[in-house]
Chains A and B, each alone.
Chain A
Amino acid sequence: MAADSTSTAPSGSAISVAEQLEQLGAARKLVLENATYYDRIVKGVLPIIGPTAPVELRRWGAEFLAESLATPVLTMRDKENITVAVLDTIRGLLDAPGEDVIVLKASIAAAASAYPVAVRWIINNSYHTESWEQMSAVKSRILRIWDGAPVPVKLSCIKFAQRVVLAQTASNGTEQKYNGLDISLNMIPPNHPLLDPRQLEAEATGLLDRMLGVLQDNSSDALLVDATINCLSILTRSRPNTSNRILNTVLNFNPLKLANSPMTPKTRVLVRSLEKTTRMFLTHLLRRDPNNPLSGRIQQYVERLMRSRAEIFDEAGRKRALADQTATGYGDAKRQKVEAGVPQFSVPPLGPGPHTLAGVFTLTNNAGLQAFDATQLPANLAAKIGVRTLAALDQNVLDLAVNGIRDRLTSLHAAGAAAAAAAQPAVMNAATAPLGVDEDDDDYEPDLTPAEDTEQILNKLDNAPPEEAMGQPADAGAEMALGPFSLPPPPTLDPDAAAKLSQAAASRVFGPLSTLKDPGAAVRKPKAGINRLAASSYDRDSWLTLITRLATRSTAGLDSAPGTGGNGIKSEEDALDRPRASLGDSIRELLFTYILEDWRRRIEIAVAWLCEEWYNDQLTKRNGTGGELNYEKCALRLVDGFLSYITAQDKVLTRFLAEIPELSAPLLGKLKALCADPTTVQLALTSLLYLVMMRPPVREIALDTVAEIWTEYEDARPLAAKYLVKWRPGFIESQTRGTGSDAAPANNMAIAT
């Protein structure tokens, strides 16, 4: 019956094309149901679908081959068998002159799936030169017809080229081991008889350039551009050698070029597609690989693209408006717009229906801003924004906004009263009720409009369950009658609480230290010398300077002087207050702890602090107010603090003693304790020797200390004697003479000589 229509069938006994297609369809269904038949059926149909078959069969065949070589149900091994078997047929279909577009398109797609499989086969079966020759012939045929081919064929050629590049460049192993995506240059041994990795890589580089050509020419052929960009992502991600080349090309591509031509419905689709596809590709890469060195540029590009797109589609609307008023000149229209810019601000009245409290206070029409959940902002940031905005806001605009909201409230109140009379719950319309309950969509929360302050935010928070719209008429009226809101007065502070709070305040001063970076020894910046400002930059050093000055100077002269102070009468309350530490003292206490936590590294801070204390003491002395002097106290406390931890290696002691502004006998006397331990004798004495040599003003005190050590510590005598002989000649003689000892002089003599 069907044979009538295909009376031109080659052989008399042959069945018609339609019947054949039906049989082939049944065969296809069979392999889809059971993959084990693939091998047999693919090989079985090859003779029927060859280059000499009718075009319907060739189309079916080419599409079936493309489908079979791509199917995810077959293993790599199964695919190798099929691929080797079908290469000849694919080659025949591609080589036929004037082949049908659909046949070509599908055959090239089949070749694209076959290519990585063939490469893998050849890697492991290098003797099989025939297959590789066939694959190479297919490849060169495809690359030859690429340029002049109709668009659908070109699309397939692009994809084929992409698979060749993928197979012939080095992988970083991040791709899925799936469908041949993981076959790469890494798998080809350097001494393979058929495959020369260098040559293959060179070919891949050339092909990639050819693929990217469409972007380099800044083509507006959205089909080819989209097809290219949409297959570049796996190359960029998993083939590092291609990544820079691809990204640079895409970043130099301008998808909005077409927007300059007149906007027909088709160009609108094309412009949007080019822009969106490019942007999706780049944001995809940003998300997968945020550490990409080019990510900064990508980010900029994406932002720029979104801006210009908004302009283009916005522009299109505006141009039409402009064209309408052709009577006025261009210049006039422009000037008008600028002038109108400032006071143009109106609060749109609320539409009918229930409103959330947030809705009532919302001024913006921007859907994105309306969806913004202001409660996500940390309170301090929200407060900052509020204060800034209020400070910068034009009074007129604020008045307009306030009046607008007031109008809304009035109208709502009126509506509420009217509805109360009707007293009917709103009926939900099942047909138009939104079904979208997606995770991103529960933004019924208020948005942060520019004129919003913290009080409004607080009010909205009070309005907590966001879905409670103000539809209920009775509530609406009541809720709208907002009285003036006043903050309750702060509770009165008693002295203890105040002390506690100032203690807390002081400890917060130290907070930033842990976060501020230590510039470290490596990046020693040049000292600014005398011109240095105490805290000119926000680094650790500056902050420490600030802390030390807070401790020493902020309250100097403000804290009452010890004892009777100025007026000589000590009130009872004053007496009670006495044990409380002043703010300066609590900071001192914390600073002391801070230094001792890591005193070896923080000795510099200790010196800086003591310098400040000393300076402050000098000022106090000069003023003659009889204020408390802190330097000596702090210095002794510090030395006491770290002396107990000191070891023989701690040369910082020498440095500390050399750098602090003033030394006293009691302070140096502390060093004597070190001499009780034989390991630290040397450290104590060298530190003293350094002072003797380098700080003439304290030479005498230092030598006195050495002398005391000589007297008090038997074990330290040899070394102490050595210094004394040099710097205080005659001392030992006078001592020995006095005591008439025998052992010591012998020792001394030995050293002195």
Chain B
Amino acid sequence: METTNGTAGSAATAPNGQQEDASGFKLKFCTVCASNQNRSMEGHLRLAQANYPVISFGTGSLVRLPGPTITQPNVYKFNETSYDSIYRELEAKDPRLYRANGLLNMLGRNRVIKWGPERWQDWQVGMPRVKHEKDQGSIGMEAGVPDIVITCEERCWDAVVDDLLNRGSPLNRPVHVINIDIKDNHQDASIGGGAMVDLADSLNRAAMEERDKVGAAVFDAGGAASRASFDERVPEVLGEWQERWPSLPSTWTLSWF
């Protein structure tokens, strides 16, 4: 364990310094929460700002936002309602309330990230997303297939994994599905967004190291910890990340699109 830690640490500095711009290899991410409003959108924004290709979804049946009371939530359909229209509707309803609880602020942020909340289960994996060039994080996401899916709640992870089992993995493409438990409020979402970028950086570093090793040497002499492939290093990277973020419990699996 000491050796792996050491290599990860030493590797951390070099590529990080030289590859902070948009060029170079970038893993593609997908963030998922229940309503594709708060936690996944915070993650979407932060990952996009860090120059990662990213898309985001919600796994709920409907988009639900707090209303005047707990029994009167504001409910919208996925894929058919834009952040902007929700913003305008809530602003018309009760600007004071929705400003006080931070909803308008959140929607205002979301509407400059992408058009509207999208539902995971309705997403056709691998459909080119060439029409989304205005979305933040769309560069590099044209083919519409992420390498890593990050969910923000155990329930969403379950929904994603179950949905992938249901789809029957037609694309034959591996995907790491990682859950990070983030409480559904603005403050925790913001913390979670930072943690996501940290995780993305760590994973991307491992992936870049794999791509830097070229050719037969790997094939013949693989095995040493430093030679481990990206896929193999994901649990290790996640374990180290968990040590840094002990309050955000995580779960991981390798699934297929």
Contacts and interface: CB of A to CB of B under 8 A. Distances in A.
Contact of B240 (A67, A104, A150, A265): A265
B166 A273 contact: no
A394 interface: no
A275 B158 CA distance: 13
A724 to B, nearest CB: 82
A233 B253 CA distance: 15
- Which residue of A109, A112, A156, A438 has the most chain B CB atoms within 10 A of its CB atom? A438
A296 interface: no
A151 B229 contact: yes
Interface in B83-121: 100-103, 105
A593 B142 CA distance: 76
Interface in A364-416: none
B211 A155 contact: no
A72 B127 CA distance: 6
Interface in B123-145: 124-128, 130, 142-143, 145
Interface string B148-160: 0000000100100
Nearest to A163: B172
B198 interface: no
Given A70-B171, A230-B165, A436-B34, A223 B254 contact: yes
B170 A269 contact: no
Contacts of A466: 70
Given A101-B219, A280-B162, A33 B128 contact: yes
B21 interface: no
A230 B254 contact: yes
Contact of B165 (A109, A265, A280): A280
Given A150-B222, A430-B102, A70 B172 contact: yes
Given A32-B130, A112-B172, A438-B64, A152 B251 contact: no
A155 B173 contact: no
Contacts of A59: 211
Contacts of A467: 69-71
A223 B231 contact: yes
Contact of B70 (A265, A267, A288, A437): A437
B7 interface: no
B6 interface: no
B239 A435 contact: no
B161 interface: yes
Interface string A19-56: 00000000011001100000000000000000000010
B214 interface: yes
B218 interface: yes
Contacts of B155: 440
Majority DSSP secondary structure for residues of A touching B = helix
B182 to A, nearest CB: 11
On chain B, which size bracket covers the interface?
35 or more
Given A151-B229, A227-B254, A280-B161, A437 B169 contact: no
A583 interface: no
Nearest to A468: B69
A417 B173 CA distance: 63
Interface in A117-169: 149-152, 155-156, 159-160, 162-163
Interface residues of A, number: 81
Nearest to B232: A151
B70 A442 contact: yes
Interface string B15-48: 0000000000000000000110110000000000
A437 B253 contact: no
A432 B187 contact: yes
A178 B171 CA distance: 10
B209 interface: no
Interface in A418-471: 428, 430-440, 442, 444, 465-467
Contacts of A302: none
Contact of B215 (A29, A55, A273): A55
Nearest to A55: B214
Contacts of B187: 431-432
Nearest to A466: B70
Nearest to A149: B219
- Which residue of A66, A152, A155 has the most chain B CB atoms within 10 A of its CB atom? A152
Contacts of B219: 98-101, 104, 149-150
A181 to B, nearest CB: 5
A64 to B, nearest CB: 10
A437 B60 CA distance: 10
A434 B182 CA distance: 11
Nearest to A235: B168
B14 interface: no
A127 to B, nearest CB: 28
Interface in B176-218: 183-188, 210-211, 213-216, 218
Contact of A437 (B66, B228, B232, B234): B66
Given A101-B219, A276-B253, A179 B235 contact: no
Contact of B166 (A66, A284, A440): A284
Given A151-B231, A233-B165, A284-B166, A428 B101 contact: yes
B164 interface: yes
Contact of A159 (B128, B172, B188): B172
Given A234-B168, A430-B186, A467-B69, A438 B34 contact: yes
A433 B70 contact: no
A268 B242 contact: yes
A231 interface: yes
B59 to A, nearest CB: 10
Interface in A305-335: none
B50 interface: no
B61 interface: yes
A102 B173 contact: no
Nearest to B154: A276
Contacts of A267: 239
A92 B240 CA distance: 40
A272 B251 contact: yes
A73 interface: yes
B172 A444 contact: no
Contacts of B236: 266, 269
Given A150-B218, A434-B183, A155 B231 contact: yes
Contacts of A238: 168
Contacts of A612: none
A705 interface: no
A428 B96 CA distance: 13
A109 B238 contact: no
Contacts of B158: 280
Contacts of B215: 55, 98, 100
A270 interface: yes
A431 B185 contact: yes
Interface in A242-289: 264-270, 272-273, 276-277, 280-281, 283-284, 287-288
Nearest to A155: B174
A71 interface: yes
A227 B188 CA distance: 32
A430 B161 contact: no
A67 B210 CA distance: 20
A61 interface: no
A264 B239 CA distance: 8
A276 B157 CA distance: 10
B220 interface: yes
Contact of A439 (B61, B67, B216): B61
Contact of A109 (B103, B172, B213): B172
Given A266-B239, A284-B165, A465-B71, 17 more contacts: A32-B128, A72-B127, A98-B219, A109-B173, A149-B219, A151-B231, A159-B169, A230-B254, A231-B256, A265-B243, A270-B235, A277-B253, A432-B187, A434-B66, A437-B65, A437-B66, A440-B155
15 contacts: A72-B170, A72-B171, A100-B214, A100-B215, A100-B219, A104-B219, A151-B232, A223-B231, A230-B164, A266-B239, A269-B252, A431-B102, A432-B185, A432-B188, A437-B67
Nearest first, the 10 closest Cβ-Cβ pairs linking A and B are A98-B216, A265-B239, A179-B170, A234-B168, A436-B184, A430-B102, A266-B239, A32-B128, A233-B165, A431-B187
